[in-house]
Amino acid sequence: MTELENLIADQLELYADRILYFTNIEPNAELAEFFSNQAQDLLDHEESDEFMVNTYHRHLSESYGVVFEQAHGDPELMFGGV
């Protein structure tokens, strides 16, 4: 598997764990549906340019997105230290 495929698989596994948790352990239909929708969105956008750009800047770039964040100031990308 490539690094990108590993990131996708890890995220899908996280969503699956949360769906199971909010279905069986601490029932909360709204949160279970939210994580289910997140997993479906990831699968739907896996091939899109938007997914690739965010994945690159957040996980695959040398700065883990900090340089991109500082240059663009996108609120959705404000995850690194300044």
CA atoms lying within 13 Å on the CB side of residue 79: 11
pLDDT at 2: 75
Domain boundaries, the chain: 1-46, 48-82
- pTM beyond 0.95: the answer is no
pLDDT at 75 over 90: no
Neighbours of 15 (CB within 10 A): 20
pLDDT digits (tens, 9 = 90+) for 7-62: 888 888 999 999 999 999 999 999 999 999 888 888 876 555 555 555 555 556 67
